[in-house]
Every structure is written in structure tokens, then in C-alpha cells.
Amino acid sequence: MPLSDEFGREVTGVRVSLTDRCNFDCVYCHNEGLGDTRGPMEPGDDEMDTDDVVRFLDVVSEYGVDSVKLTGGEPMLRQDLEEIIRRAPDEMEVSMTTNGTFLPGRAEDLKEAGLDRVNVSQDALDPDEFAEITKSGAYEKVMEGVQAAVDADLAPVKLNMVVFEHTAGYVEGMVEHVAENEGLQLQLIEYMPELTGRPEWNIEIDRVHDWLEDIAEHVEHREMHDRKRYFVNPDTAESVAAAPQPSELDEFQGGMVEIVDPVENADFCANCGRVRVTHEGYLKGCLNRNDDLQSMGEMSREEIRETFEAVVADRVPYYGEYLVENDRGEYEINEKYISAAD
């Protein structure tokens, strides 16, 4: 049975960062990129090695964790990625978030190793606009990588697009792109100003919801994270056909668009069932917090068990509990957590 925190949230998934290194230098990211030329590498001295990652996955599978998302930095900078995937528990769904530059020539091997699906970060369809956001000249490689993932049946291939001032004008084109290309879905991710210190780049994500609501043929509400999925026809910008019934969605020929909007969203946090693992081997119960990090020590099975149980027990919804609204409608740290945050 999965472990639950005191708010009744079962932990059924983990996100494991394999590295903080990346060959991009995206303007909205807090990490400094390495540049285009760096290829896959051995684990760094400060990174969990292959056995550490596999041991962690084995242990948490004992607690009902049935999915893992491998992230970075750029996880495909790890030469041992295929081995990690191959050695993951058979019952565990394995997915990955990547910028896609190393997928050409490697996607088939990843699928054969046991990777189930992949998210590819893509914030623009125009090469110049792409380069401006990512500070990378790897546009063609990313496009090749997306196609390689589709061809390898790493389905569905989700394109991750961060929505902020720089990319807001590209959303419509990206929606049309996934609607017109079989095998693609779009995940629009709300910009988090605290990562860059540039609140002026923020846009109202509700405006994107409203626009998609107007053009979608069908809207599906997911319990997980209180998300909505919008099913969009390729020519929906000009005309909207009759809405398909839920039973028909498997045969739906358009594109699916989902918005991930965690900022000041208590419902999102109330439905979170994931624990995070940093590349150094620290567990954390919330992506937005760094005051809840707990080391797994030498990562023996017993240390992993003890730390995992402790982190799950201490998990707190970020919005609505760790942060609460004051009289002015602003979020501030709940007084009972202030000593932990200092």
C-alpha cells in the first residue's frame, strides 16, 4: 500500500533528477547551461551513481510507488541512462523529461530499455525564437528528437512549453502544431517567477484556459493536480465541430492540450502524489521548497526506507498549508512552519 501524508495524499510517484547539468541555458531556468557541444557523460562526483538510483527505485516500489519520471538538468547527459531504465522495477512506469537534443539515434534504445514515454521541452517552433529562449542552436536536433521519439513509440510524446511573456505569442501556433501532428500532445506550464526573479514576465494563465475552453471540442477534468485537458481539432481556430463523446476520445484525431498551473493553486497541491529526489541523493516532499531536504546518507536500503518514510510523513501542501492567504489575498508562510523555513 502507498504511504500517505497527514493530509491524506498517497505517494505513488517519484521524480528523480539524475543531474543538474544541461546543454541549454533557458532564460527562465535558474541553472547555468553548459553549451551545445557537451555529450553524454559519466555520473559526476556529486551525482547518484547507477546503483544508487536503481536501489532507490527498488526500495520505493516496496511502498506502492508505481511511476518514476527521470529529470535533470538534462537526464540524457548521463551515459548510464539506458542502464538505469533497464534495471528499474518491472512494475514501475518510467518516463523522462528532456530537451530532446540527444534523442536522435538514442530513442529506440531507450524504448527497448523500458522507457514508456517522454516529455520534450519545446518553447517555440521558429528556430530564431527557439534560440532566443534556450540560448541554444540545437533547434533542428530537437525537432529530429521529437520525431525520433514518435517513431520509437514513446507515446504520448508531450511537448512542454513554459508560458510567459516571451512565449505567450507562440501558444496558438504550438496548439495547431500538436493538433496537426499525430503522436504529439502539449503541456503548457505556468511560469514561476520565483525561479528567475523576473515577475514582470508573468502572464495570466487563466486567459489561456479561457481561450482553450472556447476552441476545444471537448474538455476533460483530471483529478490529479486538478488539471484540465483540452481536445482541439486541427482546424478548430476557424471552426469547431461537434464535440466528441468521452468514449470516442481514443479515436480523436486532433491534439490534446493540458495546462500545469501550480502557482497559488491549493487544489493543485492538494492532489500532489509525488516525492522529489535531487541528483545528490536528497529527498524532498515538495518541488517548491528547499527547507525540507533530507539526505539518504550512503543510500543503503535501510537509510532509503527511513528517509522515504520520514519525508512522506512530513509532506505539506505548498499552497493552502505551507503558504496561506493573508487578509490582502497574498500568500505568506504559515506561522507554524516559519521556524523550519529559517
Query: What are the DSSP calls for 95-110, one per residue?
Result: EEEE-STT-TTTHHHH
With contact defined as beta carbons under 8 Å apart, do 266 and 216 qualify?
no
Q: Is 254 annotated as a binding residue?
A: no
Q: Is 286 annotated as a binding residue?
A: yes
- For 250, residues 6+ apart whose C-beta sits below 8 A from its C-beta are none
With contact defined as beta carbons under 8 Å apart, do 135 and 33 qualify?
yes
- For 252, residues 6+ apart whose C-beta sits below 8 A from its C-beta are 217, 218, 231, 244
Q: How far apart are CA 36 and CA 319, in angstroms?
A: 37
Q: Is 275 annotated as a binding residue?
A: yes
Q: Is 276 annotated as a binding residue?
A: yes
Q: Is 247 annotated as a binding residue?
A: no
Q: How far apart are CA 48 and CA 143, in angstroms?
A: 30
With contact defined as beta carbons under 8 Å apart, do 31 and 22 qualify?
yes
Q: Is 15 annotated as a binding residue?
A: yes
Q: Is 121 annotated as a binding residue?
A: yes
Q: Is 285 annotated as a binding residue?
A: no
| Alpha helices in 182-335, H assignment, sequence order | 205-215, 266-270, 301-313
In Å, how far are 152, 215, 259, 265 from 316, measured between CA atoms? 38, 36, 23, 14
Q: Is 135 annotated as a binding residue?
A: no
Q: Is 239 annotated as a binding residue?
A: no
Q: Is 171 annotated as a binding residue?
A: no
Binding residues for S-adenosyl-L-methionine: 28, 73, 121
Binding residues for GTP: 15, 69, 97, 158, 274-276
Binding residues for [4Fe-4S] cluster: 22, 26, 29, 269, 272, 286
Binding residues: 15, 22, 26, 28-29, 69, 73, 97, 121, 158, 269, 272, 274-276, 286
